[in-house]
């Protein structure tokens, strides 16, 4: 059985970033309610699975995401799972691919592009900068919560129901709202 590294998003640094993004909200009671909800929640991400597009202009990062909340009926923990997907547009003429190897490398020669017999690992710095934030996940959860149920994907409808059982409408309204911004170099969603 393989183990995966999980990253928790409900940490103080992410909470602070989230609150800064919604600080323009005049309703301080919503912020207090959101803080209270975050104390009851756990959001974890598995390591990303990366896929290149066929034409080489996009990279898709998929994170298995688990949202849990303490409390509920008879003290049981509510858990629902999603896949967070972010598709990042890459212009390789502006973002070079850097190669590192597992061999001993001097401190001033960390990155190089010459061929070596040891294994080569590609690292995309742009992908590390685009890892999901608590703000994005909460905004997408809010979007999913209000999604209509008039489509045939039964598993999606089941996730919406679990989310609606996990949070009340008043609670979900304290989550940040995120919109579609065409100027960004990526698209994101939860499925």
Q: Report yes or no on 116 lying in a domain.
A: no
When divided into structural domains, the chain yields a total of 1
pTM of the model: 0.74
Residue 36 within a domain: yes
Task: Assess if residue 50 is contained within a domain.
Answer: yes
Count other Cβ atoms within 10 Å, centred on residue 103.
9
Domain assignment present for residue 111? The answer is no
Tell me how far the alpha carbon of residue 5 is from its chain's centroid. 14
The rounded distance, in Å, linking the Cα atoms of 82 and 153 is 14
pLDDT (tens digit, 9 = 90+) per residue, 130-188?
788 999 999 999 999 998 877 677 888 888 888 999 999 999 999 988 876 655 556 77
**In a domain? residue 97:** no
Residues 73, 32, 28, 144, CA torsion sign: negative
Q: Is residue 98 in a domain?
A: no
**Structural domain range at position 181:** 6-92+129-190
In a domain, 112, yes or no: no
């Amino acid at each position: 059985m393989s183990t995966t590294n999980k990253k928790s998003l409900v940490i103080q640094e992410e909470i602070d970033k989230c609150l800064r993004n919604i600080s323009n909200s005049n309703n301080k009671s919503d912020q207090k309610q959101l803080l209270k909800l975050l104390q009851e929640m756990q959001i974890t991400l598995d390591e990303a699975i990366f896929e290149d597009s066929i034409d080489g202009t996009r990279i898709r990062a998929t994170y298995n995401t688990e949202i849990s909340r303490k409390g509920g009926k008879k003290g049981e923990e509510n858990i629902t799972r999603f896949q967070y997907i972010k598709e990042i547009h890459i212009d390789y003429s502006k973002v070079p691919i850097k190669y590192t190897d597992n061999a001993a490398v001097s401190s001033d020669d960390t990155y190089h592009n010459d061929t070596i017999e040891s294994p080569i690992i590609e690292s995309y710095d742009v992908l590390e900068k685009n890892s999901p934030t608590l703000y994005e996940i909460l905004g997408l959860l809010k979007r999913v919560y209000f999604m209509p149920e008039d489509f045939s994907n039964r598993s999606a409808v089941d996730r919406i129901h679990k989310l609606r059982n996990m949070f009340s409408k008043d609670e979900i309204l304290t989550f940040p709202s995120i919109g579609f911004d065409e100027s960004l170099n990526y698209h994101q969603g939860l499925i």
